[in-house]
Amino acid sequence: MTIVLTYGTFDLLHIGHVNLLRRSRALGSSLVVGLSSDSFNAIKDKRATQSYSDREAVLRAIRYVDDVFPEDSWEQKADDIRRLGADVLVMGSDWRGHFDELSRYCQVRYLPRTENISSSALKASIRSMQ
C-alpha cells in the first residue's frame, strides 16, 4: 500500500483542486489530505470563505480522497508523515523547494498547478462582479 499525503486550504473548490487530488491519488493506493484549519489559515493571513467543517465535508465527498485531518501548523508535516506512514508527500509546484527537507521521511513530489485558476483568482473575480 502506497500512502500519498497532501495539504491545502481547498477553499472554493475548483478544477485545479480536483486535478491536484486526482494526480496525487494516482501516485498511490490511498490519498490523505491535511486540511488547513481556520486557526492555521489565520496564522498564514488567509481567510477561507467556508468553514473547516464545510471544506472537510466537500473533500470527503471526492472519490480521490481517502481521509482528511486538520493541519494546524507548518511544523506538523514530519510528524504527520511518520504517523500516517506516508510514502509520498505531494505539494503544488508553486511550493517547489519549500519541503525538500521532508525527503528524509518520504518521497517529495511537486505537481504542476492548473494554469489560470486559483481560489484567490476566483474570489477576485467574484468581487469584481459586485
Query: Annotated active-site positions, please?
Result: 44, 46
SS3 call for 119: helix
Cα-Cα-Cα-Cα torsion 2, 104, 37, 129, nearest 10 degrees, comes to: -80
- What span, in angstroms and rounded, lies between the C-alpha atoms of 96 and 111? 9
Euclidean distance between CA atoms 1 and 109, whole angstroms: 18
What is the grid cell recorded at 15?
A: 478544477
Cell of 106: 518520504
